[in-house]
């Protein structure tokens, strides 16, 4: 939980993300050695941060004399005129946001930027990132190692850029925040369905970014999407942590404050888009509009499914992907019936990216069940259960498979 903040703060001192990660790990090792003997401190996070910073200062002193370092900093302050920027909450002093923009530097490939930031900021493991990307673990590991090396050898500054350079990195930054939130909202592995700390970090970063870039419609749209998605968190799990499907959720437990914030952010996105874009809503704006449809509906049955299907069609045109098409099929199943949707799903079964994606057989199973094809549905639920690495999802899918068994058996 503390690792991303420690890495971000230490990077400011050592100017090397790879070394900062090592120092953060050293602080965690020190805690494992000292806390069992001396007791856990009142503020564990502050202890870890102080320990890592002390080690960072020691490292800087070993590299060159402390006086020379201070002189260099002094000369830099005297000769460098900072760009004029409006004062906004959590502006350039936000180390986490600084870490995101640094890891999303153009010297890295788009895939490497996202993988590195998910590792450092989101605290995701290599297998978790691989599942998020639907690529082999070895590929992700290589991307992370090479990205750290490149940032070090290119002497990339630890900063939030200004002007055109900031805008050039924005797409990767938004995707990183989106993927971090997704991992927290529906964990790809482990015993828990949710990882709330990841959702909170992603939502906080989206809000800060909205303040930094108030004229960017997709920044507000992403914030709206995350606010609306986060509003359902309390209703998404039962007493034992088991998943609760959208159609079964108690909407009285949805967070109305977050819904209101989401509607406000969506309105800002629409207003900004009206003056800055001519190509229509972007992918995050379309997804936020879909989330807003759910938030407006008082029940699952009252949801405007035709509009959601139309929004997914627009999203498939703007950002085509097998996952978008899978979601579009779900919406069509509600607006036009399961048979129509099953035809779309069957065309996706040969998609390489979805071969190990458990939601494909899960959705197909649900459609088969609605069509009365119970034996086929059971097989698909079991296949989905075998593919997921999340224990709560696996239990739910197996339970649904058992419900497909003929009565009396």
Q: What are the residues whose beta carbons fall under 8 Å from the beta carbon of 214, sequence distance 6 or more?
A: 220, 268, 272
Alpha-carbon distance of 131 to 68, in angstroms, equals 46
DSSP, res 251: G
Position 139 scores a pLDDT of 94
Alpha-carbon distance of 8 to 397, in angstroms, equals 39
Residue 20 three-state SS: helix
According to DSSP, the β-strands at 189-190 and 389-390 are: parallel
Position 242 scores a pLDDT of 86
Position 83 scores a pLDDT of 39
Query: Per-residue DSSP letters for 299-332?
Result: SSTTS-HHHHHHHHHHHHHHS--HHHHHHHHHHH
Position 189 scores a pLDDT of 66
Q: What are the residues whose beta carbons fall under 8 Å from the beta carbon of 60, sequence distance 6 or more?
A: 13, 14, 66, 69
Q: Rounded to a whole number, what is the largest CA-CA distance in the chain?
A: 83
- Cα dist from 269 to 26, 28, 79, whole Å: 43, 41, 39
Q: Could you list the pLDDT tens digit for every one of the 409 residues in the chain?
A: 678 778 878 887 777 788 888 888 899 899 999 999 999 998 888 888 888 888 888 887 776 555 555 566 555 544 443 333 333 433 334 677 788 888 888 889 888 988 888 788 767 788 888 877 778 899 999 999 999 999 989 888 888 787 788 777 888 889 888 888 888 887 766 667 677 877 887 898 898 888 878 889 999 999 999 999 999 999 998 888 888 999 999 999 999 999 999 999 999 999 998 777 667 899 999 999 999 999 999 999 899 999 999 999 999 999 999 999 999 999 999 999 999 999 999 999 999 989 999 999 999 999 999 999 999 999 999 999 999 988 889 999 999 999 997 654 4
């Amino acid at each position: 939980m503390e690792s991303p903040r420690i890495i971000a703060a230490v990077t400011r001192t050592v100017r090397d993300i790879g070394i900062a990660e090592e120092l953060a790990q050293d602080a965690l090792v020190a805690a494992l050695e000292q806390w069992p003997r001396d007791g856990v401190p009142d503020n564990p996070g502050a202890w870890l941060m102080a320990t890592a910073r002390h080690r960072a200062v020691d490292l800087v002193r070993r590299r060159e004399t402390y006086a020379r370092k201070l002189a260099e900093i002094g000369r830099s302050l005297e000769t460098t005129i900072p760009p004029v920027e409006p004062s906004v909450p959590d502006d350039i002093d936000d180390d986490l946001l600084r870490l995101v923009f640094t890891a999303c530097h153009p010297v890295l490939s788009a895939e490497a930027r996202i993988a590195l930031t998910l590792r450092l900021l989101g605290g995701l493991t290599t297998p978790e990132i691989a599942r998020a990307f639907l690529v082999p673990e070895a590929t992700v590991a290589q991307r992370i190692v090479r990205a750290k090396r490149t940032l070090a050898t290119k002497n990339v500054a630890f900063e939030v850029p200004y002007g055109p350079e900031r805008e050039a990195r924005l797409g990767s930054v938004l995707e990183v925040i989106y993927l971090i939130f997704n991992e927290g909202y529906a964990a790809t592995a482990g015993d828990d369905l949710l990882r709330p700390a990841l959702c909170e970090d992603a939502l906080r970063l989206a809000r800060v970014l909205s303040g930094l870039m108030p004229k960017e419609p997709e920044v507000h749209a992403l914030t709206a999407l995350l606010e609306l998605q986060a509003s359902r968190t309390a209703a998404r799990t039962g007493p034992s942590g088991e998943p609760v499907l959208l159609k079964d959720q108690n909407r009285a437990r949805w967070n109305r404050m977050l819904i209101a914030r989401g509607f406000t952010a969506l309105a800002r996105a629409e207003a900004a888009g009206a003056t800055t874009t001519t190509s229509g809503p972007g992918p995050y704006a379309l997804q936020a509009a879909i989330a807003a449809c759910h938030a407006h509906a008082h029940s699952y049955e009252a949801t405007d499914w035709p509009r959601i299907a139309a929004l997914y069609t627009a999203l498939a045109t703007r950002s085509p992907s097998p996952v978008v098409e899978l979601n579009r099929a779900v919406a069509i199943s509600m607006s036009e019936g399961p048979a129509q949707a099953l035809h779309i799903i069957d065309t996706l079964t040969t998609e390489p990216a979805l071969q190990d994606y458990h939601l494909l057989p899960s959705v197909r199973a649900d459609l088969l069940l609605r069509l009365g094809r119970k034996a086929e549905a059971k097989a698909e639920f079991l296949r989905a259960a075998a593919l997921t690495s999340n224990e709560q999802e696996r239990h739910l899918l197996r339970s649904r498979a058992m419900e497909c068994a003929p009565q009396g058996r």
